[in-house]
Amino acid sequence: MDLAKYRALFLEEATDHLSEMSRALLVLEKRPDAREAIDEVFRMAHSIKGMAGSLGYDAITDLSHKLEDTMERFRSDGVVPAGEAGMALLFAGLEGLETMVAAVRADGEPAAPDSALLRRLEVEPDPQASGSLGSLEPDPKKVAMS
Partner 1 sequence: MKRILIADDASFMRQMIRDIIEPEGYEVVGEAADGVDVIEQFLELRPDLVMMDIVMPKRSGIDAVKAIKVEDPGATVVMCSALGQEMLVMEAIEAGAKDFIVKPFKPDAVLTTLGKVLEKEI
Residue numbers at the binding site for partner 1 (CB under 8 A): 1-2, 6, 9-10, 13, 39-40, 42-43, 46-47, 49-51, 53-54, 65
Q: Integer distance in angstroms from the first to the last C-alpha of the chain?
A: 46
Q: How far apart are CA 136 and CA 62, in angstroms?
A: 28
Q: How far apart are CA 140 and CA 61, in angstroms?
A: 33
Residues 6+ apart with CB under 8 A from 134: 125, 126, 127, 128
Nearer to partner 1, 65 or 132 (CB): 65
Nearer to partner 1, 84 or 109 (CB): 109
Residues 6+ apart with CB under 8 A from 90: 25, 28, 41, 67, 70, 71, 80
CB of 136 to partner 1, least distance (A): 25
Nearer to partner 1, 61 or 132 (CB): 61
CB of 116 to partner 1, least distance (A): 23
Nearer to partner 1, 40 or 114 (CB): 40
49-to-30, 46, 87 alpha-carbon distances in Å: 27, 5, 20
CB of 139 to partner 1, least distance (A): 29
CB of 32 to partner 1, least distance (A): 21
